[in-house]
Chain A
Amino acid sequence: METVIEMRNISKIFPRVVANDKINLSVRQGEIHALLGENGAGKSTLMNILYGLYQPSAGEIYVKGQKVSITNPNVAIALGIGMVHQHFMLIPTLTVAENIVLGSEPRRYGFLDMRKAVAMVEEISQRYGLKVDPQAKVESISVGMQQRVEILKALYRGTEILILDEPTAVLTPQEILELFDIMHNLNTEGKSIIFITHKLKEIMAIADRITIIRRGKVIDTVTTASTSPRELAAKMVGREVSFKVNKQEYSPGETVLQLENVQALNSRKLPALKGISLEVRRGEILGIAGVDGNGQSELVDVVAGLRKATAGHIKLLRKDITNASPRKVIAASISHIPEDRHLRGLVLDFTIEENMVLETYYQAEFANGIILNNKQIQMHAKRLIQEFDVRPPDQKTLARSLSGGNQQKVIIAREVDRDPNLLIAAQPTRGLDVGAIEFVHRRLVEQRDKGKAVLLVSLDLDEIMDLSDRIAVIYEGNIVGIVAAEDADEAMLGFMMAGAAGN
């Protein structure tokens, strides 16, 4: 088989980090080549170089044997390279057809020819079996269709080599299978696919060959037939990893959090929670599984007082806290590790010590009346920095300049130290490397073992299955079923995540 892409000794150095270090990658025609690595390993950087969004600091790229210099996406497109980004690059207010032709639009007498654009989109969507509605606005179509639009964008430009960056993160297990069908179709048409992921199971199911990247370096390139998930995991992380977290035996106590028929709207004022009922008890982790955008964020927000419930009741230890202000919720001893630590969890331009008292700065411990007690605030931070091993151990450091893992440590320290009745953890390991993930997991289980109630929301099904005692599956704002973790398997949860009722 012909080699279509050859990247030789590619390095990319950012001001503070070496993202790619002499990487070699070759992709053959008609293969599905997986790029495997942890968050931050350098996969996306490498692909952004191939697509012309970044310029390499060193190294060479060959396409079909020709040395090329890909200075911008136009060059990549002309070379037959297309990319579907992890976060879709679609313009919500434009139509599907407008999005697809954007940048190489058909013209008539010098004017934009939308009629022809629609016809062309219909033609290729039929050829590859990618069903879309060319006239629909992108903001009104489903996530699955948005992904098809992204693939069509590449095909419209005559893509021969398609890069898919973490394409499955937003899909249900069933939609993932559909995507795999599409990928096979493209393969039989002679197209090559580079598939970026950190999910071992998907790789084993679809890839022909796998290149593993760790900390900016290529560790190995192997064929799928000759490897195993265990071997891949070890190569990805750099040591043997145990996926199991040690927990004490499950012995739930009294009910801490109780939701009864809770309803709420999302930011676009559409119903996001349509009657959620569940409870979390002392000494248990209740995991919420589901595909992104099915109401998880709204559920967390409603409990934390950050979003109004339009109906139903939320009770903490039998006390009604429905629509209490965030301050009251905090005072009622609910801690919350938010899903987006940059958006909510931290004031990035505050120091560590200021962030450590973000919720408690006004309390007698840290303020006399309205005057802040800086000495006390400093001592508090010093203690937590030591306890949770935050680096650098300097309470005057701005949160902005900490690594992701240390930022998350600051948040967890702050939330756990308040000794809450209920701990909400929303996607607590997103974007972290394996070491930090293990730290977070240990802390969550520790809280459970100490008899706290923990509500865990995660898009990572493995994380949910590893940590939870019970698993509630959310779909389109409803809990479709709650199952004991030991009875759950992935196929069953997958069906529930797609809306099929459990049990």
Chain B
Amino acid sequence: MGKQKIWAKDLLEVAGVPAIAIILGLVVGAVAMLWMGYNPVIGYQSLLRGIFGDAYSFGETIRSMTPLIFTGLAVAFAFRTGLFNIGVEGQFVLGMLAGALVGAAWPQLPWLLHVGLALGAGALAGALWAAVPGLLKGRFGVHEVITTIMLNYVSLILANYLIRNFFRVQEQEATANIAPSADLSIALLKQASGGARIHWGTVVALGLVVLVAFILYKTTLGFEFRAVGFNPHAAQYGGINVTKSLILSMLISGSIAGVGGAVEILGVFGRMAVSPILPGVGFDGIAVALIGNNNPFGVLFGSFLFGALKTGAIQMQYVTQVPYAIIRVVIAAIVFFVAIKELVRRILRLKRREV
């Protein structure tokens, strides 16, 4: 008798918290809209239309979820090894820069090779940037949360500095445009959707979801990462090299973020410009990983959710004048409710008792 019930309970445990958090988050957004004198029903309607309304909207939704798959995976992967990589943001930024630079160089290369090189450069840049907190954690036990936070801002300043002083094109505050041989965009779909910036990076991201799931759950490497993540003392006792696992996990996490950065340049922006603020997708990746319970397929769901909200909000502001930033409030509220899952669990338990 029990099997089915246990299965249902597990599902509730895994999906219940995010589901309730999403609902509560949307409620918070609705209350904020009401408070400011907007009609939340109309607001959310136009939000939905902005996500699914037509081919262009849906294409843009796919476009904006793609970087979140990368950053979400990066956060989730490190998390499975017990590392809180808040530095995905910075690793993403340096991946962008590396992708932009390699993408603009060697225009005579064949497409696949050039793209491969540029993505590889992004991965390398992200991995190197993540190596610093990884080594500090593995060798000296320095907490990665602090070091990665610090490195985020360093990465922004560093990238701006490098662009301004070494890689700018004429009087522009940006790198040169990438060569057509490194272009990831899919012209056919772009035309068919009325200009949505759909690109091959999404396919790369989906491939990574499967690869990460495979590594984590089907290989000895994943066994080691998960053992270290759950209990480093027991892992060490079992003969697992904890230092190596921590560093390696950080490198992989950083390289996933770095590829994501490169993809964003090669697929969407075509060049990297100086920016006063961090792009934010790395922080969004934390939200994505949390809502996805640090599971690769959960990340896929989370990135769709947040990508959709971000895309739909643009349309919403355009049509109903509800400020775009409302969606940041909604995302913040969702993260907050996932964080206090204790409360959400209590709500769930109450409901079950009533039934």
Contact = CB atoms under 8 A, between A and B. Distances in A.
Direct contact of A and B (CB under 8 A): yes
Contacts of B240: 327
Contacts of A348: 230-231
Contacts of A354: 223
B234 A347 contact: yes
Interface stretch (B11-19, B146-154, B156-164, B213-221): B213-221
B234 A345 contact: yes
B218 A372 contact: yes
Contacts of A254: none
Interface string B214-254: 00001111110011001101111111110000000000000
Given A361-B223, A370-B220, A326 B230 contact: no
Contacts of B222: 372
Contacts of A338: 237
Nearest to B221: A370
Contact of A347 (B218, B220, B231): B231
Contact of A326 (B218, B221, B223, B239): B239
Contacts of A370: 219-221
Nearest to B223: A361
A3 interface: no
A367 interface: yes
A343 B234 CA distance: 6
A327 B222 CA distance: 17
A336 interface: yes
Contact of B237 (A331, A344, A361, A372): A344
A440 interface: no
Contacts of A330: 238-239
B203 to A, nearest CB: 25
Contacts of A361: 220, 223
A389 B177 CA distance: 68
A349 B230 contact: yes
Contacts of A346: 231, 234
Contacts, number: 63
B109 to A, nearest CB: 32
A354 B220 CA distance: 11
Interface in A70-99: none
Nearest to A345: B234
A361 B219 CA distance: 10
A358 B241 contact: no
A362 B220 contact: yes
Contacts of A372: 218-220, 222-223
Given A347-B227, A350-B230, A336 B218 contact: no
Q: Find the residue from B223, B230, B241 having the highest chain A CB count within 10 A.
A: B223
Contact of A344 (B218, B230, B233): B233
Given A359-B239, A370-B220, A372-B218, A343 B230 contact: no
B348 to A, nearest CB: 16
B9 to A, nearest CB: 13
A325 interface: yes
A306 interface: yes
B312 to A, nearest CB: 37
Given A354-B223, A361-B223, A367-B220, A347 B230 contact: yes
B304 to A, nearest CB: 27
A327 B239 contact: yes
B230 A371 contact: no
A336 B219 contact: no
17 contacts: A304-B237, A330-B238, A331-B239, A336-B237, A343-B231, A343-B234, A344-B234, A344-B236, A347-B227, A347-B234, A348-B231, A350-B226, A358-B227, A358-B238, A370-B219, A372-B218, A372-B223
Q: Which 3 A-B pairs have the closest CB atoms?
A: A327-B239, A358-B238, A344-B237
Interface of B: 218-223, 226-227, 230-231, 233-241
